């Protein structure tokens, strides 16, 4: 800990700071999130697989880490970049420091760099590949340029459950939900449970028939990492599920469904990552503040007429949600499960469960 | 909702503790918003020292008392269709309720904008508030409402102590407190019942030691709700949030806690139906298990309680605006006239909309500024009653740096976190009861310096360990600086933690200047980062910067002509909002002249720190290091020269920088450092005046007790004594004899060894004050102000009238002549303020100069408004080289306006227990109000009403007058009786009144001699006013009156300690039946 370390970017930029976390090197796509809290939730969010995560808020690790705040069973980001990591955290729930947590997860991290300068660089140049390294920066830049690029990789295969699992059952069960795990966050399962639903999580390559064989009342296509254009298998599954049961596509799940309906994806310059993204629901005109984490977006042009854009991002007008006019299918581009982020969007889960109810009580 | 076409905006009146400059900022933003929305704004406020009451800010401006009667008449005259009361603090909100209750709003078909009347009642009335929160399932601490002392005793019996006492409908927690014993309960409840306009207090379970968290939330008509900022108090529950050190965003909350409290806050604003801004205060369990947040029907105690809601823009929202860059008041005003959040453009990014939540990438620290440097005998214990007059804010990328910069910004005699009270000894710090006091931060540092355990300190104070560990890191750096050589790494590390060059110099045994040179040689310079609401996610246009020691600088020097205006820092007694008014006008004048106006200030409440006031805002401490760093940063190249600095408008804070900037070869425009020195150095000033043949009261600057006594022997008692180089008459006294003088001189020598004290003949004459603009050729005098009180009462505490009503033409001519000669001889460029005393004996009258200040004064906004002479604008243009003649003005005394304007001081004495309200040469007021009308008596009455100094139309008055003043008091007493007042008096005074053949009730019993005594008749409401004129200082009569002066302050009834003020109040009362005028300020002016 504390020895000199570098963050190098593929364009040759070098930031020098101090190491913490694991004594290792790592590379990945360098992205930033503006969420001011929830570093542990972010680190364990499978959607950050393949990426080096940088927090724009300078003080991280203040309240330590705890089993309570994990969103999956491991740290998913490949590296962590902060202005300052707290080594004496304070919270009654804390079980350890950020440093120890990352060290035991094998994830290297760097602190003491001008993270705002890095953010400005990414904002103007777009996301790029980078590495956290203790080697000479020039050496690292050389191997970074040869390394596997983020864009061409299917990270869903790295994060999905190998065999599937069931989440703790609610006390009074109402519905059974199958969750296609493209990189699910535990909070989706917690929220489903809080609304009385039993969740069965299945691997990302599970076929539609196998999913329907579980006799679910509804299906959630989960969020997850990477480029939806690489996920033909999941798109095929989604196509086969449409029209069978109510479906809720969240984030990558939204993108997969949109592809199933014929929409194309494109990469955003530096993505949407943070807990302050304003999204307007077109039906009500009401804006809610959402938690977001996606580097790709869907172009709604070319969607069939039965699909309407239900939600729009206020800042850049991108598509943030879709709704099937006839079938009980809704999608949302952001993380309606929050964690980290505002709890304004639980209504979407209620709406999804409402759709199930309508189907079940004709 | 239809957009209203004409909206009445109510201001917050004079600055008092709990209601400071933040409401000028809010009101000014609201006016701007109305203009943008095409809505006509009608503004009413009684405080002239505000930007919001400027021509060109609101469309129609009334400077009138904030009473139902006055506002009703304004409404009748203007016929607005909307009332916006949410930007004028508690004052405006209460007034709105009163107007509604009086049926005025219905009668004139006026819509209440922003916050529904019902919501105001729900937020303010404790019972309704609880009921509402119960309905929406939000937890409130167990509490009960009482309206009598007996009921309070019963509640204490049932709920046990300690209990928090909160009076309904008061600002800044007036009259509240935490009662731990029966005696305390009785005292605080009695006070609270008196303070509450509906005689209602809430007794609440104490959450002492819980985390105190605030959220600033907004909601629009489409029910979109957002939070702008959350804030965490360094001081846990138990200290009023206005008296707490606060950081933004919260530092020790997990995301789940953050979101849980955020959700609660949004639920509350929805339930209240507020359309605009709202502030929610919550207490969060520091230890207790957080309940199962994702199970809506989770069991067990909730981990938080909702403490308070302000359904309006507040001090906290001003802080949140400055902490985030999000203009809450402006957006709230637009929402109030029907805009939706997603329709309002984000003024910062100019691309996105106002419907988003700011993301911070820095830490903000706020520290309150308390008045205990002026009131060393005041009760310094902090509780639920706010005591701070102002606050500072600092921004940096670490907590350590933010808090250290905030401490530097406090401007408490250069006190850094290194400061320790010499009385603190190691043993005492270990034993000390860690009650919250104004100096607790320093005491914590001192304890940590002596190896106290942060976790142990946390247990004792309730301050979260996170904060204490950070303070311990600062201490660790202190040790390194003491022991290690100053390597570049160490120096950079220290700068990153916010150590000033001066602190580093003290620890490393170097001169501060040497530290500065060395670090610059090492390339260690601050960079400036932008406050952009979005953590750099989007390109932003806001010119709002803070310094930090990192790599990338975002503030490259502005191109073109530019000048830096030094602001005035935190609001404190002696340096109030007036100087912010001047700073803002200087910015506008610079811009008008084609300059880029840069401003530096540390006060988050002000208009000057609004990001769109100047061309570039540096939010920094106002000390030499910060200002020089800014000037270096604005210097285009190594050989270029720094932009000029203007030090005339930021009060003594800015003036104090003239000398160091001059020494550092930084150009100053306006009067030179030399002129400032002549005016402030006693012997140079004496020489200067005697060369001009202008008299001043005889006296001398001395540095020893012996010399002081010698001087007094020559000039004869009474003498006025004060330290040199201070503002606001600090530590100034009038002494009558050798004993008193020795005491004073000894104390002064101890406080500032080697610093001179001034001993001057005290002349009990008529005091006159002049502000002037001088360009080196001409001296322009907008008008002369005559004080109501004789010399001896600090000019800031005196009432003053323009134009003068008692001066002869000869006296006026002399004043004008002296002013012109002094201005020219001193080579003033810009503003100057001179105070005179006129002593009449028989036919002759002599004019003496008491003080010359070559800078803007407290009275500049007042005199500018009532004479229509834009003083700051003229002065700024003069500094840039345009003469008065070129600006189309001629020198000399300007023609008199056909109005009469009276300025009255406003005090915050009810909030400062232990502080004597006696008026003397030491300034005590926190703000001022203005009354303007066509006659003196009407203007006087208005000023008194606005400053809460007016006597009621009928009632009783308690008199206690020293022998020396008895004869002079006679006519005043007669007039009181004439007005139908019943008189109560202490023994000697009663005998005198009886001797006049007037009815009087004598209160024989002194305090502690049984009942009823003098304090009882005040407490039980028998009397409605007090006239207590004691003799001299440090004497028995002064001490005797202390308790009943305090009782009057607590009971909020007027108490006059000068016969001159009492006379004015009685005159105003008798003339009270006279009709007063209600019209816009512009209609009074010719």
Q: Is B873 helix (H, G, I), strand (E, B) or coil?
A: helix
Q: Shortest CB distance from A314 goes to which of B222, B355, B554?
A: B355
Q: Do A69 and B256 make contact, defined as CB atoms within 8 angstroms?
A: yes
Q: Which of residues 125-164 of A touch B (CB under 8 A)?
A: none
- Residue B650 DSSP code: S
- A215 and A331 belong to one structural domain: yes
| B669 φ/ψ angles, rounded to the nearest 5 degrees | -105, 150
Asked if residues A34 and B251 have their Cβ atoms less than 8 Å apart, the reply is: no
Q: Is A308 a catalytic residue?
A: no
Q: Which two structure tokens, joined as six digits, stand for B762?
A: 């005290």
Do residues B1057 and B917 touch, judged by C-beta distance below 8 A? yes
Q: Say if residue A263 is in the same domain as residue A205.
A: yes
Nearest CB to A56 within list B289, B351, B361? B361
Side-chain-facing half-sphere of B1025: CA atoms under 13 Å: 25
pLDDT tens by residue, B57-105:
999 999 999 999 999 999 999 999 999 999 999 999 999 999 999 999 9
Q: Residue B293: pLDDT band by 50, 70, 90 thresholds? A: very low
d(CA B491, CA B508): 10
Domain that holds residue A93: 4-152
Average of pLDDT values for B140-155? 91
Q: State how far the Cα of B429 lies from the Cα of B440, in Å rounded to an integer.
A: 11
A interface test, pick of B536, B548, B549 with most A CB neighbours within 10 Å: B536
Handedness of CA B981, B985, B990, B992 (dihedral sign): negative
Helix (H, G, I), strand (E, B) or coil at B436: coil
B316: left (phi over 0), alpha (psi -120 to 50) or beta: alpha
Q: What pLDDT band is residue B727 in, cutting at 50, 70 and 90?
A: very low
Report the DSSP beta bridge partners of residue B16.
B19
Contact status, residue B906 vs residue B928, Cβ threshold 8 Å: yes
- Specify burial of residue B421 (Cβ count, 10 A radius: 0-12, 13-18, 19+): exposed
CB B471 within 8 A of CB B444: yes
Closest partner residue to B355 (CB to CB) among A91, A278, A343 is A278
User: Are residues A59 and B399, on separate chains, in Cβ contact within 8 Å?
Assistant: yes
Most A CBs within 10 A among B211, B216, B361, B362, hence the mutation to make, goes to B361
Say yes or no: A131 and A261 in one domain: no
Task: Check if the beta carbon of residue A78 is closer than 8 Å to that of residue A28.
Answer: yes
Q: Determine contact: A338 vs chain B, CB below 8 A.
A: yes
Q: Compute CA distances B335 → B54, B85, B345, B840, whole Å.
A: 24, 13, 12, 59
- B644 Cβ contact list (under 8 Å, min separation 6): B563, B564, B667, B668, B669
- The single-letter DSSP state of residue B55 is B
How many whole angstroms separate alpha carbon A55 and alpha carbon A37? 9
Interchain CB contact of A362 with B (< 8 Å): no
- Rounded to 10°, the helix B149-159/B182-195 angle is 140
| Interface contact B737, partner A, CB < 8 A | no
pLDDT > 80? residue B630:
yes
d(CA B954, CA B976): 10
| CA–CA min distance A228, chain B (Å) | 24
What is the DSSP-derived secondary structure letter of residue B73? Answer: H
How far apart CA A121 and CA B182 sit, in angstroms, is 63
pTM metric for this prediction: 0.95
Asked if B49 and B576 touch (Cβ cutoff 8 Å), the reply is yes
B contacts of A88 (beta carbons < 8 Å): 465-466, 469
Whether residue A335 lies in the annotated active site: yes
Distance separating alpha carbons of residues B734 and B757, to the nearest angstrom: 13
How far is it, in rounded angstroms, from Cα B924 to Cα B375? 9
Of B249, B259, B340, the CB nearest to A342: B259
Neighbours of B1 (CB within 10 A): 11
One domain for residues A209 and A265: yes
β-bridge mates for residue B448, sequence order? none
Distance CA A109, CA A127 (A): 18
Residues of chain B neighbouring A116 (CB-CB closer than 8 A): 361, 397, 529, 535-536, 550, 552
Contacts of B353 in chain A (CB under 8 A): 278, 314-315
Closest CA to A262 of A242, A247, A280: A242
Share of chain B above pLDDT 90, in %: 75
Output the pLDDT for position B1007. 67
Residue B779's SS3 state is strand
A312 contacts in chain B (CB < 8 Å):
none
Final residue in a domain of this structure, among A134, A152, A170: A152
CA pair distance B517, B1004, nearest whole angstrom: 70
Residues B897 and B1084 sit within 8 Å (Cβ to Cβ): yes
Same domain, A172 and A108: no
Distance CA A170, CA A190 (A): 9
Query: Which of residues 93 through 112 in chain B touch A, CB cutoff 8 A?
Result: none
**Between residues B43 and B435, which one has the greater pLDDT?**
B43
Q: Which of A123-137, B599-613, B1032-1046 has the lowest mean pLDDT?
A: B1032-1046
Interchain CB contact of A342 with B (< 8 Å): yes
Tens digits of per-residue pLDDT, A19-69?
A: 999 999 999 999 999 999 999 999 999 999 999 999 999 999 999 999 989
Catalytic-labelled residue, pool A251, A272, A311, A313: A251
**Quick one: pLDDT at residue B296?**
36
Interface predicted TM-score of the whole assembly (ipTM), two decimals: 0.98
The yes-or-no verdict on residue B726 having pLDDT over 70 is: no
* Chain A to chain B Cβ contacts (< 8 Å): 171
Q: Is B399 on the interface with A (CB under 8 A)?
A: yes
- Which positions in chain A touch B258 (Cβ < 8 Å)? 36-38
Q: What is the spatial distance between Cα A302 and Cα A19, in angstroms, rounded to a whole number?
A: 48
Q: Identify the CA nearest to B328 among candidates B30, B93, B570.
A: B30
The whole-number pLDDT of residue B734 equals 84
Report helix angle B454-461 to B465-483, nearest 10: 140
Q: Which of A115, A288, A343 sits opposite B259 (nearest CB)?
A: A343
Confidence band of B728 (pLDDT split at 50, 70, 90): very low
In chain B, which residues have their Cβ closer than 8 Å to the Cβ of A285?
222, 340, 342
- pLDDT-derived band of residue B729, with 50, 70 and 90 as boundaries? very low
Q: Which residue of A has its CA nearest to B349?
A: A315
Are residues A210 and A121 both part of a single domain? no
Q: Element (H or E) spanning A25, and its range?
A: none
Return all residues near B459 (Cβ < 8 A) that are at least 6 apart: none
Which A residues, 168 through 197, put their C-beta within 8 Å of a C-beta on chain B?
187, 190-191, 193-194
Q: Are residues A267 and A305 in the same domain?
A: yes
Domain boundary among A109, A130, A152: A152
CA gyration radius, chain B: 28
Q: Do the Cβ atoms of B361 and A115 come within 8 Å?
A: yes
- Residue B525 — pLDDT band, cuts 50, 70, 90? very high
CATH number at residue A42: 3.50.30.20
- pLDDT value at residue B1014: 84
Tens of pLDDT, residues B376-418: 888 899 988 899 999 999 999 999 999 999 999 999 888 899 9
Does residue B170 carry a pLDDT above 80?
no
At B994-1023, the pLDDT tens digits run 999 999 999 876 766 777 788 888 888 899
Q: How far apart are CA B722 and CA B760, in angstroms?
A: 9
* Residue A302 C-alpha, separation from nearest chain B C-alpha, in angstroms: 27
Number of domains within chain A: 2
CA–CA distance, B605 with B20 (Å, rounded to integer): 7
Whether the ω angle into residue B718 lies within 30 degrees of 0, i.e. cis, is yes
Average pLDDT over residues B467-478: 98
Q: Is B330 helix (H, G, I), strand (E, B) or coil?
A: helix
| Among candidates A194, A289, A340 on the partner chain, residue whose Cβ is nearest the Cβ of B296 | A194
pLDDT of residue B197: 77
Is the Cβ–Cβ distance between B780 and B766 less than 8 Å? Answer: no
Lowest mean pLDDT among A205-209, B130-134, B721-725, B853-857: B721-725
Same domain for A183 and A249, yes or no, is yes
B832 φ/ψ sector (left φ>0, alpha ψ -120 to 50, else beta) = beta
Instruction: Calculate Rg over the CA atoms of chain A.
Output: 20
* DSSP 8-state assignment for residue A301: T
pLDDT tens, position by position, B597-618: 999 999 999 999 998 899 999 9
Q: Beta B596-601 vs B562-566: how paired, if at all? A: parallel
For residues B262 and B217, give the distance between their C-alpha atoms in angstroms, rounded to a whole number.
Answer: 9
Burial class (CB in 10 A: 0-12, 13-18, 19+), B1075: exposed
Among A31, A33, A62, pick the best mutation site for testing chain B contact (most B Cβ within 10 A): A62
Q: What is the CATH number of the domain that holds A272?
A: 3.40.50.880
Q: Say whether both A243 and A289 belong to one domain.
A: yes
The interface residues of chain A toward chain B in range 278-297, judged by CB-CB distance below 8 A, are 278, 280, 284-289
Interface membership of B59 toward A (CB under 8 Å): no
What's the rounded Cα separation, in Å, for the pair B450 and B445?
A: 9
Q: Do residues B140 and B168 touch, judged by C-beta distance below 8 A?
A: no
Query: What is the model's pLDDT at position B167?
Result: 87
Q: Are both A200 and A295 inside the same structural domain?
A: yes
**B162 upstream amide cis, omega within 30 of 0:** yes
- A36–B249 CB contact, under 8 Å: yes
Nearest CB partner across the interface for A58, out of B287, B397, B537: B397
Is residue B895 classed exposed, middle or buried when 0-12, 13-18 and 19+ CB atoms within 10 A define those classes? Answer: exposed
In Å, how far are A173, A253, A336, B35, B104 from A260, measured between CA atoms? 31, 11, 21, 50, 63
Tokens of B515: 């530290």
Partner A contacted by B263 (CB < 8 A): yes
Q: Quote the pLDDT of residue B1075.
A: 78
Spatial contact of A71 and A339, defined as CB atoms under 8 Å apart: yes
**Whose CA is closest to B65, among B953, B1049, B949, B1025?**
B949
Answer yes or no: do A212 and A136 share one domain: no
- Smallest Cα distance from A208 to chain B, Å: 30
Mean pLDDT (whole number) for A103-130: 97
C-alpha–C-alpha distance, residues B1029 and B1007, integer Å: 18
Active-site residue A91, yes or no? no
Q: Say if residue B1012 is preceded by a cis peptide, omega within 30 of 0.
A: yes
Q: Are A231 and A323 members of one domain?
A: yes
Residue of A4, A31, A34, A93 to mutate, interface with B, max B Cβ within 10 Å? A34
- To test the contact with chain B by mutation, choose from A116, A122, A123, A292 the residue with the greatest count of B C-beta atoms within 10 A, namely A116
Closest CA to B779 of B651, B896, B883, B670: B883
**Residue B468 tokens, joined:** 């204490």
Pick from B12-21, B197-206, B470-479, B960-969 the range whose average pLDDT is largest: B470-479
State which of A95, A120, A152 marks the end of a domain. A152
Mean of all residue pLDDT scores within chain B? 91
Instruction: Tell me the shortest Cα–Cα distance from A84 to chain B, in angstroms.
Output: 8
């Amino acid at each position: 800990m504390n020895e000199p370390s570098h963050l190098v970017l593929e364009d040759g930029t070098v930031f020098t700071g101090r190491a913490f976390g694991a004594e290792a090197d790592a590379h990945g796509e360098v992205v930033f999130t503006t969420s001011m809290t929830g570093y542990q939730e972010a680190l364990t969010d499978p959607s950050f697989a393949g990426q080096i995560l940088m927090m724009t808020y300078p003080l991280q690790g203040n309240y330590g880490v705890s089993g309570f705040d994990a969103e999956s069973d491991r740290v998913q980001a490949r590296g962590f970049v902060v202005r300052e990591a707290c080594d004496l955290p304070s919270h009654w729930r804390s079980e350890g420091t950020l440093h120890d947590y990352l060290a035991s997860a094998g994830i290297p991290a760097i602190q003491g760099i001008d993270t705002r300068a890095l953010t400005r660089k990414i904002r103007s140049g777009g996301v790029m590949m980078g590495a956290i390294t203790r080697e000479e920066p020039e050496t690292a830049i050389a191997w970074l340029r040869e390394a596997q690029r983020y864009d061409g990789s299917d990270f869903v295969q790295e994060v999905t459950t190998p065999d599937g699992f069931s989440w703790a059952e609610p006390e009074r069960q109402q519905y059974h939900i199958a969750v296609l795990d493209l990189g699910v966050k535990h909070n989706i399962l917690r929220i489903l449970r809080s609304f009385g639903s039993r969740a069965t999580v299945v691997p990302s390559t599970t076929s539609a028939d196998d999913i329907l064989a579980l006799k679910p009342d509804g299906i959630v296509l989960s969020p997850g990492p990477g480029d939806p254009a690489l996920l033909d298998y999941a798109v095929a599954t989604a196509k086969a599920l449409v029209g069978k049961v109510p479906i809720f596509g969240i984030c990558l799940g939204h993108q997969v469904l949109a592809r199933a309906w014929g929409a194309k994806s494109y990469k955003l310059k530096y993505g949407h990552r943070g807990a302050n993204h304003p999204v307007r629901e077109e039906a009500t005109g009401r804006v809610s503040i959402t938690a977001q984490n996606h580097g790709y977006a869907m172009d709604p042009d070319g969607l069939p007429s039965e699909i309407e854009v239900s939600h729009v991002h206020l800042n850049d007008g991108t598509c943030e949600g879709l709704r099937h006019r006839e079938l009980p299918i809704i999608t949302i581009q952001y993380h309606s499960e929050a964690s980290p982020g505002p709890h304004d969007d639980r209504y979407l889960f209620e709406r999804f469960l409402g759709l199930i109810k309508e189907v079940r009580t004709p | 909702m239809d957009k209203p076409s004409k909206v009445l905006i109510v201001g917050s009146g004079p600055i008092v503790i709990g209601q400071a400059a933040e409401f000028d900022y809010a009101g000014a933003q609201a006016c701007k918003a109305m203009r943008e929305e095409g809505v006509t704004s009608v503004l009413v406020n009684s405080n002239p020292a505000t930007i919001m009451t400027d021509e060109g800010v609101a469309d129609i401006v009334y400077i009138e008392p904030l009473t139902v009667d006055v506002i009703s008449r304004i409404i009748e005259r203007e016929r607005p269709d909307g009332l916006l009361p949410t930007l004028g603090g508690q004052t405006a909100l209460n007034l709105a309720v009163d107007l509604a209750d009086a049926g005025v709003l219905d009668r004139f078909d006026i819509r209440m904008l922003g916050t529904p009347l019902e919501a105001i009642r729900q937020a303010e009335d404790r019972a309704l508030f609880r009921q509402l929160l119960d309905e929406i399932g939000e937890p409130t601490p167990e509490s009960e409402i009482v309206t009598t002392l007996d009921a309070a005793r019963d509640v204490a019996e049932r709920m046990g102590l300690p209990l928090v006492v909160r009076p309904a409908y008061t600002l800044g927690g007036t009259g509240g407190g935490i009662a731990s014993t029966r005696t305390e309960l009785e005292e605080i409840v009695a006070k609270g019942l008196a303070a509450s306009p509906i005689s209602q207090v809430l007794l609440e379970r104490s959450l002492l030691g819980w985390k105190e968290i605030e959220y600033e939330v907004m909601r629009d008509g489409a029910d979109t709700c957002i939070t702008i900022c959350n804030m965490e108090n360094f001081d846990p529950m138990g200290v009023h949030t206005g008296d707490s050190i606060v950081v933004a965003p919260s530092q020790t909350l997990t995301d789940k806690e953050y979101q849980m409290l955020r959700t609660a806050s949004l639920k509350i604003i929805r339930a209240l139906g507020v359309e605009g801004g709202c502030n929610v205060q919550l207490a969060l369990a520091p230890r207790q298990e957080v309940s199962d947040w994702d199970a809506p029907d989770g069991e067990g105690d909730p981990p938080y309680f909702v403490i308070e809601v302000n359904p309006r823009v507040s001090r906290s929202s001003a802080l949140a605006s400055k902490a985030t860059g999000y203009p809450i008041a402006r957006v709230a005003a637009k929402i109030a006239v029907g805009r939706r959040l997603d329709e309002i453009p984000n003024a910062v990014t100019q691309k996105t909309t106002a419907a988003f939540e700011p993301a911070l990438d820095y830490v903000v620290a706020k520290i309150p500024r308390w008045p205990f440097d002026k009131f060393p005998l005041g009760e310094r214990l902090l509780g639920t009653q706010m005591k701070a007059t102002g606050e500072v804010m600092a921004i940096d990328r670490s907590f350590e740096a933010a808090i250290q910069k905030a401490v530097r910004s406090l401007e408490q005699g250069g006190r850094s976190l290194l400061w320790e009270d010499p009385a603190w000894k190691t043993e005492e710090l270990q034993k000390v009861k860690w009650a919250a006091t104004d100096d607790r931060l320093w005491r914590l540092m001192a304890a940590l310096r002596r190896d106290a355990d942060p976790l142990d300190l946390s247990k004792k104070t309730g301050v979260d360990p996170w904060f204490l560990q950070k303070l311990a890191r600062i201490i660790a750096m202190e040790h390194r600086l003491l022991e290690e050589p100053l390597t570049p790494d160490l120096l950079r590390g220290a700068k990153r933690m916010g150590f000033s060059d001066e602190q580093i110099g003290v620890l490393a045994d170097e001169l501060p200047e040497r530290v500065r040179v060395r670090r610059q040689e090492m390339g260690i310079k601050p960079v400036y980062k932008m406050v952009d609401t979005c953590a750099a996610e989007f390109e932003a246009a806001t010119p709002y910067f803070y310094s930090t020691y990192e790599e990338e600088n975002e503030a490259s020097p502005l191109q073109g002509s530019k000048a830096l205006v030094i602001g005035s820092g935190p609001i404190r007694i002696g340096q109030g909002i007036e100087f912010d008014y001047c700073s803002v006008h200087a910015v506008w004048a610079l811009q008008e002249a084609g300059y880029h106006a840069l401003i530096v200030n540390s006060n988050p409440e002000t208009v000057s720190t609004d990001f769109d006031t100047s061309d570039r805002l540096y939010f920094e401490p106002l000390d030499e290091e910060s200002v020089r760093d800014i000037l270096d940063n604005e210097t285009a190249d190594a050989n270029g020269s720094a932009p000029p600095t203007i030090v005339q408008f930021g009060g003594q804070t800015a003036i104090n920088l003239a000398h160091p900037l001059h020494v550092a070869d930084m150009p100053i425009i306006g009067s030179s450092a030399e002129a400032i020195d002549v005016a402030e150095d006693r012997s140079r000033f004496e020489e200067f005046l005697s060369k001009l043949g202008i008299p001043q009261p005889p006296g001398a600057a001395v540095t020893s007790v012996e010399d002081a006594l010698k001087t007094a022997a020559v000039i004869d008692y009474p003498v006025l004594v004060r330290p040199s180089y201070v503002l606001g008459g600090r530590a100034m006294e009038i002494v009558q004899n050798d004993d008193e003088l020795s005491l004073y001189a000894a104390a002064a020598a101890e406080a500032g060894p080697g610093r001179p004290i001034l001993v001057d003949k005290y002349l009990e004459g008529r005091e006159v004050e002049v502000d002037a603009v001088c360009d080196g050729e001409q001296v322009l005098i907008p008008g002369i102000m005559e004080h109501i009180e004789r010399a001896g009462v600090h000019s800031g505490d005196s009432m003053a009238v323009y134009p003068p009503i008692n001066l002869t033409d000869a006296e006026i001519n002399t004043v004008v002549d002296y002013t012109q000669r002094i201005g020219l001889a001193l080579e003033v460029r810009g503003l100057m303020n001179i105070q005179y005393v006129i002593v009449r004996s028989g036919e002759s009258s002599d004019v003496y100069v008491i003080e010359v200040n070559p800078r803007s004064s407290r009275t500049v906004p007042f005199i500018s408004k009532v004479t229509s002479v834009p003083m700051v604008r003229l002065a700024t243009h003069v500094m840039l080289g345009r003469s008065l003649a070129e600006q189309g003005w001629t020198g000399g005394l300007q023609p008199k306006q056909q109005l009469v304007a009276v300025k009255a001081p406003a005090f915050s004495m009810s909030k400062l227990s232990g502080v004597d309200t006696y008026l003397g040469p030491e300034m005590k007021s926190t703000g001022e109000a203005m009354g303007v009308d066509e006659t003196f008596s009407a203007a006087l009455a208005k000023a008194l009403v606005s400053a809460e100094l007016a006597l009621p139309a009928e009632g009783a008055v308690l008199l206690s007058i020293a022998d020396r003043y008895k004869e002079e008091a006679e006519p005043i007493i007669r007039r009181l009786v004439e007005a139908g007042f019943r008189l109560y008096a202490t023994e000697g005074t009663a005998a005198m009144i009886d001797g006049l053949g007037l009815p009087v009730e004598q209160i024989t019993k002194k305090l502690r001699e049984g009942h009823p005594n003098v304090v009882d008749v005040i407490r039980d409401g028998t009397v409605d006013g007090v006239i207590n004129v004691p003799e001299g200082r440090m004497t028995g009569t002064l001490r005797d009156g202390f308790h009943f002066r305090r009782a009057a302050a607590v009971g909020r009834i007027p108490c006059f300690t000068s016969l001159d003020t009492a006379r004015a109040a009685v005159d105003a009362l008798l003339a009270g039946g006279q009709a007063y005028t209600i019209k816009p300020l512009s209609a009074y002016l010719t």
